[in-house]
Amino acid sequence: MGKLAGFRYRDVAKRLKAFGFGFHRQAAGSHEIWQNERSSRFTTIPNHPGDMPEGTLRAILKQAGISPEDFIAK
């Protein structure tokens, strides 16, 4: 397991809020679009039960412009 394994939707949402992201709108199915007003970046977050796959979390962080190290440090 990598260093980004074991995060749930609630944990990811809490940490993204600390970086200035907020809920923007509901997307298809159980996915949500989050936006950072300061940087004008968007990211899509799946709201599924259980742990988020590490690759999915890496893609979210890439869209958000957040390094994995900064995300873990929050």
pLDDT value of position 26 = 97
Whole-prediction pTM: 0.92
pLDDT value of position 1 = 67
pLDDT value of position 2 = 81
Give residue limits of the domains in the chain: 9-73
pLDDT value of position 69 = 95
Low-confidence ranges of the chain (pLDDT < 70): 1
Q: What is the CATH number of domain 9-73?
A: 3.30.920.30
pLDDT value of position 74 = 82
pLDDT value of position 54 = 95
CB crowding 32-43: b at 16 or more within 10 Å, else e: bebbbeeeebeb
